[in-house]
A and B are shown apart, each in its own frame.
Chain A
Amino acid sequence: MKKIIALVVLLVVLFSAVACTSQEKSDTLTVGIIQLTDNGAFTDMREGFINRLRELGYTEDKLIIVEKSAQGDMSNLNSICQEMVNSGVDLVATIATPASQAMVNMNTDIPVIFISVGDPTGAGIISNMEKPDKNATGTSNAIPVDEMFKMADSLTPGIETYGILYNTSEKNSVTTVEKAKVYFDTNGIQYVEAVVPDSSEVQQATQSLIGKVDAIFVPNDSKVQAAMPQVADIAKTAQIPVYGSSAVMVESGAFATISISDIEIGALSADMADQVLKGTQIDQIPAITVSNFTTVINKETASEIGVELSKDILSTATIIE
């Protein structure tokens, strides 16, 4: 009996705490940011988004930003979306695919700006990039595979076999790998895949590629990105270049990449959010696939694998020591 009373008391406390509506509806706007996991790329996107909003004139007293991370737990994602709707935010920014899907599925009046979703139409978030429906629009970060391999060919010519290192559970990675394979098949390049279900298996997967390939390609994959230092070490010892898909990878030791800065994608999304907050209808703001790329090269890796960087490259690319 006593335990049942304790349970009832607990439920009442929780009910009231959860049910009490949030206070005032003042002139301050509230923007919510939702992300599934915590990693370097997402942090950059978030910071880029927030900083750009502040730059555009939304100071602390005009705009409150509420950040929530599901910390890798999918089941919390739904609760977070419900909480955003509950507290009546004016706009929600979602980072990456699962968070965007969960928010759009809530089917509310709150406009959604998705940041860096690999394939918005494929993921069911919007049906049309030009005229977004479902009250959502945003930025897509499809990786430019063709440019990537053309750059690779100019930096380290003569690659006959590529090794592809990726995690099958990330939709973005799989889509990018499919595109890469199409490029390889059209251009008569061989490739070997090494699949990584978990960060702990990256080392062995990489080692399995050594001796079979002339270069390694890593798509926009968060698991391999997390273990990039290991991959870079193994590749450097074997004198093989690693072509990553984000600046974070190159900073961790990969050789080079053509990337869209995550900070920039966050900033572009902030521009779209600004338009929505100022009153533009969401279906008037087309979703954009970001296309201003920069070549990023790691100088230390370059010298360790014995690649000479010409003066042109040194002047146009972003060099990381």
Chain B
Amino acid sequence: MTLLIGSLQLGLIYGLLALGVYIAFRILSIPDLTADGSFTLGLAVSAVLTVAGHPILGIFAALVAGAVAGTITGLLQTKMKVHPILAGIITMTGLYSINLFIMGVSSNVSLIGNETIFSMGANASNITKTLIAAIISVIVFMILMWFFKTQLGLSIRATGNNEDMVRASSINVDRVKIIAIAISNSCVALSGAVLAQYQGFADISSGVGIMVIGLASVIIGEVFLGKRSVTLGFAAAIIGSIVYRFIIALALRSSIFPAYALKLVSAFIVAMALSIPVIKKNMQQRKIIREGRKSAKNY
């Protein structure tokens, strides 16, 4: 049961990361690589403030920090006309040193024994932890859902769709992009912040490869829930993250494979999971063709 519930909790926490990645990649159609850096930024800020005795402040500070990181990337892209991918890489690289500095020039900050948002309730049972993770996810989901139906939110969606059209409508495209990337990285940093308090430590290498996890979650979710609307997209991001965690858990459970095959097994399961809709469609089409041939013979 621990693995089941634990995977659910991790899925919800990393779901916030997936939401941030979804905003940048799908809504704004910008390949933003700052996530590796802003995730660790949120992790570091939250860890340091929790050790100082302010876990909740840590969460909010991480939100702000993520927004600042996103703003920097946005400014590089829009004002300095740096290519989006490079802008993200520049911010991510710079954040590495900043994160080390925040953690007190240490690569690892331990939170074990400190009050965190997960231990604040009377009983830090598994159910409480899951509930806290779920509540945070739902709150962020609802806020985002509301935001992307406001004037600003719609401008962001439009920019991702057809930038020239938006510019022609005399909306400040630069401002819109910067705000969107800031929000995206804010979500990513929030994910890092919650994770730090969940796992009890912050390590500088926690952000390595986080982009891959975010993208995998978004795409897995989309395969099942479709791309029809933004709200569905957000739900898909969170669900995709949970499914991805379950896949890892499944890969871990199997003792048939040696320890070093973990990533190969999880890659295989992800590939299989993604091909389910395609296989189903193929089977349906073949069924239709078969039926068609049968009825053609009858004539």
Contacts and interface: CB of A to CB of B under 8 A. Distances in A.
Q: Are A and B part of the same complex?
A: yes
Nearest to A122: B110
Size class of the A contact interface (CB-based, 8 Å): 35 or more
A73 B246 contact: no
A85 B252 CA distance: 12
A168 B110 CA distance: 17
Contacts of A181: none
Contacts of B198: 78
A80 B204 contact: no
Main secondary structure of the interface of A (DSSP, over half): helix
B110 A123 contact: yes
A174 interface: yes
A74 B262 contact: no
Interface string B224-264: 11100000000000010001011111101101001110110
Main secondary structure of the interface of B (DSSP, over half): helix
Given A73-B263, A101-B110, A7 B248 contact: no
B43 to A, nearest CB: 10
A189 B171 CA distance: 62
Contact of B224 (A6, A15, A80): A6
A168 B188 CA distance: 24
Contacts of A169: 100, 107, 204-205
A69 B225 contact: no
Contact of B239 (A7, A15, A123): A7
Interface in A1-49: 2-4, 6-7, 10-11, 14-15, 17-19, 21, 38
B106 A79 contact: no
A6 B1 CA distance: 24
A76 B262 contact: yes
Interface in B1-48: 1-4, 6-7, 10, 14
Interface in B82-125: 96, 100, 105-108, 110-113
Nearest to B43: A74
A265 to B, nearest CB: 20
Given A68-B259, A83-B253, 17 more contacts: A2-B280, A3-B223, A18-B249, A18-B253, A68-B252, A68-B262, A72-B208, A74-B206, A75-B10, A76-B262, A82-B6, A82-B7, A83-B252, A86-B2, A105-B200, A124-B200, A174-B106
A38 B258 CA distance: 13
Contact of B260 (A38, A82, A85): A38
Contacts of A98: 108, 201, 203
Contacts of A134: 112
Contacts of B49: none
B270 to A, nearest CB: 11
A225 B18 CA distance: 34
A105 B210 contact: no
A4 B224 contact: yes
Given A2-B280, A168-B107, A104 B112 contact: yes
Contacts of B243: 7, 10-11, 14
Interface in A60-113: 66-80, 82-83, 85-87, 97-98, 101-102, 104-105
B209 interface: yes
B276 interface: yes
A170 interface: yes
A118 to B, nearest CB: 10
Nearest to B209: A73
Given A6-B277, A14-B250, A82-B2, A105 B223 contact: no
